[in-house]
Amino acid sequence: MFTQKIFLKTIVLFFFIFLLQSNANQTQFKVSYDPDYAPFSYELNGKAEGLFVDFWRLWAEENHYNIKFINGVTWDNSINLAKEKKVDFFLGTNAYEDWMKSSKNYYELATSLFIHKENDKGFSKDASYIIGIIGSDYEELLKENFKNSEIIIYENYLEAFKDFSSRKIDLIYDDKVAIEYFALQNGYFHLIRSIKLFSNTFKISAISENENLVKLFDEGFKKLKPEDLASVESKWIIHNEQRIYEDIESLTQLTQEEKDFIKSKTFKISLSRSWEPFSFLSINKAGGISTEIWELIAKKLGLKYEFFVSNNFSEQLSSIKNKEKDLIFSVGETKDRKKYAIFTKSYKSFPLSIVTLKDENFIENMNYLFNKKIAVGENFTAHKILREKYPKLDFLLVKSIKEGLAAVDEKKAYAFVDIKPVLAYNIKKLNFDSLKITGNTGLSFDMSIMIRDDYQILQSILNKAILSLNENEVNSIIKRWENVQFEKNFDYKTLWVLLGLTSLFFIPLIYFNQQNLRKSKNLKILVNERTKELKILNEELEERIEEKTKELRRANYLLDEAQTIAKLGSFGYSIKKKELKWSNEHYKIFGLFVGEIKPSLATFFSFIHPDDKKRVKKEFLKSFRIKRKYSFEFKILLRDETIKYIQLTSKITKFSNEGKPLFVIGTILDLTKIKKLELEKREQDTLLAQQSKMAAMGEMLENIAHQWRQPLSVISTASTGMQLQLEINKKVDEKFLLDSINSINKQSQYLSKTIEDFRNFFNPNKLVQYFDIKDCIEKSLYLVDSRLKKYNIEVIKDMENIKVKTLESELVQILLNILNNAIDAIESNKISRPVICINTYKENDSLIIEIKDNAGGIPKNIINRILEPYFTTKHKSQGTGIGLYMSNEIITKHLKGKILVSNCTFLVDDSHYKGALFTLSLPIEAK
């Protein structure tokens, strides 16, 4: 069994060596880039240009590679090309998604917030803003820091700056140099001003889906000379203070101030007592990888220093925070540590690796560690990096490396994560023979020197020394510590006793064994031949199993991600075994942790809302009798009393020989947000319809008042005349009496008819019926007749006799809204000869109604918005902004037609006029 395991491990090793060799032989590469990211990457005359583009060209030239740059059109699409393996690399960003494999950092960018230059108000993270970003890589960062703000993602800088200049967004956040470069090139520089409310620095790396390609990039980039990189950078970055690279001579030369500083100081260094193999105390002497690299740096600079040993890492950090010590030379940079300390450039990068029991398979990526207990050193840099990248991991915090390895050995944790050299060294030293390094996290630990934050000059000094380090010398130190061998104490007395007892037992056996050796020689030859054959078959089988296992893991991962994004769960139910299985997203939709309960039909029905439980049981049983796909909707009630709306779709996929269903698969879709939006939309439409009706009622009451004035005046005159005759003559002339009564009666009937006409408008007939369009328009004109006369508006009609079948009352409401708006515009603009033209005609199977006025038209900047709810050009006291919106809603949803709004010029009696044109189009016969 042991020999077989060794054999399998050898095969796996050869397989990975083959993969690495195949990548190493690759010389043709496709690299995607964002064409709207000047000065870092952009397109000019069909060719890729920019700082990052030139870095890649330098890399290709130095390593004798050929590069084809692929225009990704947008930032997100350029990155997706790498994700989908359509290109080998994306040009450069920080790794912010799980799939991304990133190289070592080759550049650093500072980000900033920009506001309108004339905006002098104070800004706060707690306030509510609209912030624009280009691409989605900074989205989560801004949501975390500006919890009350809305983040809008743009595909390119041009669209973002258009909205910024028109004040649709308050702030823009992106790379400082990129924003300033675009603003300067496109005439926006006078509008922008950066503020210090929020900024950050981001490391730029080559991005690929293939980890071996990333390693290939790193190996090639090591060959680039700093002076060549500095030369490329100076071509694109004008200001020295914004540059990252400089030539070695200028970088490593100390200023007089720096020389004076180190001459006057003896530096206090906090040393870990036991962080093998990086820094530790052995026989009262400091040792380890970082210790030896520090000694190189100190020797170059002529530093004076003394060590102060700390019992644990938390104690070391406190000593820097409280400024009791000056520096720690073996630490990683994290967000929380930057609050009280500063860091040098990284002098070496190490992978974060995963240790498990030896019988575990190779771990391809971090997704395999979800839902498992992961040991990690409390407050160790590995802990900080993992917590920032994967906050939902189930951590077991330990105090030391030994405790972490022991937790895996004792099965208290599935894995332990730390820096690879630390793991390899301590597995050997502490004799954890049951453990192995199973894979890498895809994350790296950039080893830096941590300095108290008031020693910024020391940061500059140490950075210069780090840049001048000989890489071969550093690698030699690391290699020496990786090959350290440990002696194991052995009890020789026990060995001799065991050998004595064993010899007494085995001497008789040796004699008989010699006799059997001759007999088994031929059998051994035969067995060896068969073993070789089996090894070859086993090798082929292991390769196939490993390949299929990877494919299955990747497929399951992609399926889980897709279900999470779509809020779509899945299930499978064996009717015969009565076994139900749910996907991870199914648990989440039902408000449960994955695996929290064992699914069953009884469990499923316990979540059904009481109002739907009876119906769902019927639907569920019905789905078992139908061979095709079947869907239905229902509500569920979660444990916290939350109600969700669900759509269940199922299909029988397996039948018995007798045609009975055996297995059902299905999906559940969370419709809660959709249902809430539908409900809000219905409530909003109801409210708007009521507001529109009330606004129309106000206008109708004004019209009634206008139309009643003359009849009431006639009635008043007749009654006053009769009263005067009675007072003067003591009697009323019979003819005068009859004439007055007839007049009062006639005017009363007119008043009654007016009330009836208006009542018909407010109690509309909701039946679809045939009517003549001319009658409908005349009815509408009659309802606004008093307003037309008041402003001396001439109505010019060119109407055909066309019979239509639709909702007449709804059409009258639309016509009234348009006519009243036209009258308001004419009155507001004081038109000397006001005109409203109404034309009707038939076009194919549609009725066309055109209504135009000569009030001057609608301004271009608002013409596309006048059909929006609550948009009005009138004073707040005169308009609600819902009349035209409701007209559009009625004609599109009830009459199945449409409204078009435009400006037009037209001729009346040889006079030219300009005004608004409303064109109504609706089917002649509604279906």
| Residue from 384, 349, 364, 369 nearest 442 by CA | 364
pLDDT in tens, 624-670: 778 788 889 999 999 888 899 999 999 888 888 888 888 889 998 98
Lowest mean pLDDT among 254-263, 588-597, 802-811, 877-886: 877-886
* Whole-number pLDDT of residue 576: 84
Cα distance between residue 101 and residue 208, in whole Å: 5
Cα distance between residue 572 and residue 874, in whole Å: 60
| Residue from 836, 849, 762 nearest 804 by CA | 849
Sign of the C-alpha dihedral computed for residues 384, 386, 392 and 396 taken in this order? negative
- Average pLDDT of the segment spanning 687-716: 63
- Average pLDDT of the segment spanning 491-507: 60
> In Å, what is the CA distance from 265 to each residue of 252, 302, 303, 327, 525?
20, 11, 8, 13, 75
766 pLDDT band, cuts 50/70/90, is low
CA end-to-end distance (rounded Å), the chain: 79
Most confident of the following: 24-28, 138-142, 683-687: 138-142
DSSP string, 543-611: HHHHHHHHHHHHHHHHHHHHHHHHTEEEEEEETTTTEEEE-HHHHHHTT--TTSS---HHHHHHTB-TT
Q: Read off the pTM.
A: 0.36
Cα distance between residue 178 and residue 135, in whole Å: 13
411 pLDDT band, cuts 50/70/90, is very high
Q: Beta 373-377 vs 415-419: how paired, if at all?
A: parallel
* Whole-number pLDDT of residue 852: 94
Most confident of the following: 10-14, 313-317, 483-487, 745-749: 313-317
908 pLDDT band, cuts 50/70/90, is confident
* Whole-number pLDDT of residue 83: 93
> In Å, what is the CA distance from 360 to each residue of 9, 13, 429, 432?
12, 15, 22, 15
What is the rounded average pLDDT for all residues in the chain? Answer: 82
Lowest mean pLDDT among 480-489, 857-866, 895-904: 480-489
* Whole-number pLDDT of residue 491: 47
What 8-state DSSP symbol labels residue 259? H
Sign of the C-alpha dihedral computed for residues 611, 615, 619 and 620 taken in this order? positive
Cα distance between residue 697 and residue 890, in whole Å: 17
Q: Hey, what are 641's tokens?
A: 């009393």
Task: Give the CA radius of gyration of the chain.
Answer: 42
Q: Which long-range contacts does 923-926 make (Cβ < 8 Å, 24+ apart)?
A: 923/806, 923/845, 923/846, 923/847, 923/895, 923/896, 923/897, 924/802, 924/803, 924/804, 924/805, 924/842, 924/845, 924/846, 924/847, 925/804, 925/805, 925/845, 926/768, 926/805, 926/806, 926/807, 926/895, 926/896
In which residue are the tokens 């005439």 written? 187
Report the 10 Å Cβ neighbour count for 484. 12
304 pLDDT band, cuts 50/70/90, is very high
* Whole-number pLDDT of residue 417: 93
* Whole-number pLDDT of residue 429: 86
Cα distance between residue 112 and residue 76, in whole Å: 20
757 pLDDT band, cuts 50/70/90, is low
> How would you list the strands of the sheet with 47-49, edge to edge?
36-37, 41-44, 47-49
More confident residue, 594 or 4: 594
More confident residue, 409 or 894: 409
Lowest mean pLDDT among 115-124, 272-281, 793-802, 850-859: 115-124
Most confident of the following: 72-76, 322-326, 712-716: 322-326
pLDDT at 1 over 50: no
Most confident of the following: 50-59, 154-163, 823-832: 50-59
Report the 10 Å Cβ neighbour count for 86. 12
* Whole-number pLDDT of residue 557: 66
pLDDT in tens, 87-120: 999 999 988 888 999 998 899 888 889 998 877 6
More confident residue, 278 or 502: 278
* Whole-number pLDDT of residue 252: 58
* Whole-number pLDDT of residue 751: 67
Specify the 3-state DSSP secondary structure of 651: strand
Residues 773/840, Cβ–Cβ less than 8 Å: yes
pLDDT at 35 over 80: yes
* Whole-number pLDDT of residue 478: 86
25 pLDDT band, cuts 50/70/90, is low
Specify the 3-state DSSP secondary structure of 832: coil
pLDDT at 750 over 70: no
> In Å, what is the CA distance from 393 to each residue of 164, 387, 429?
39, 8, 29
Q: What percent of the chain stands above pLDDT 90?
A: 26
* Whole-number pLDDT of residue 861: 85
Q: Hey, what are 4's tokens?
A: 């077989």
More confident residue, 515 or 222: 222
More confident residue, 142 or 733: 142
pLDDT at 248 over 60: no
Most confident of the following: 263-277, 682-696, 867-881: 263-277
Cα distance between residue 240 and residue 246, in whole Å: 9
pLDDT at 182 over 70: yes
pLDDT in tens, 223-246: 888 878 888 888 888 776 777 776
* Whole-number pLDDT of residue 497: 63
DSSP string, 221-240: HTTS-HHHHHHHHHHH--SG
927 pLDDT band, cuts 50/70/90, is low
* Whole-number pLDDT of residue 3: 44
Most confident of the following: 39-48, 164-173, 409-418, 458-467: 409-418
DSSP-H helix ranges across 784-866: 785-790, 808-829
pLDDT at 69 over 50: yes
* Whole-number pLDDT of residue 511: 61
Residues 350/444, Cβ–Cβ less than 8 Å: yes
Nearest 5 degrees, angle CA 608-CA 584-CA 557? 150
* Whole-number pLDDT of residue 881: 45
| Residue from 162, 199, 204 nearest 41 by CA | 204
* Whole-number pLDDT of residue 97: 86
Q: Which uninterrupted H or E stretch holds 794?
A: strand 794-798
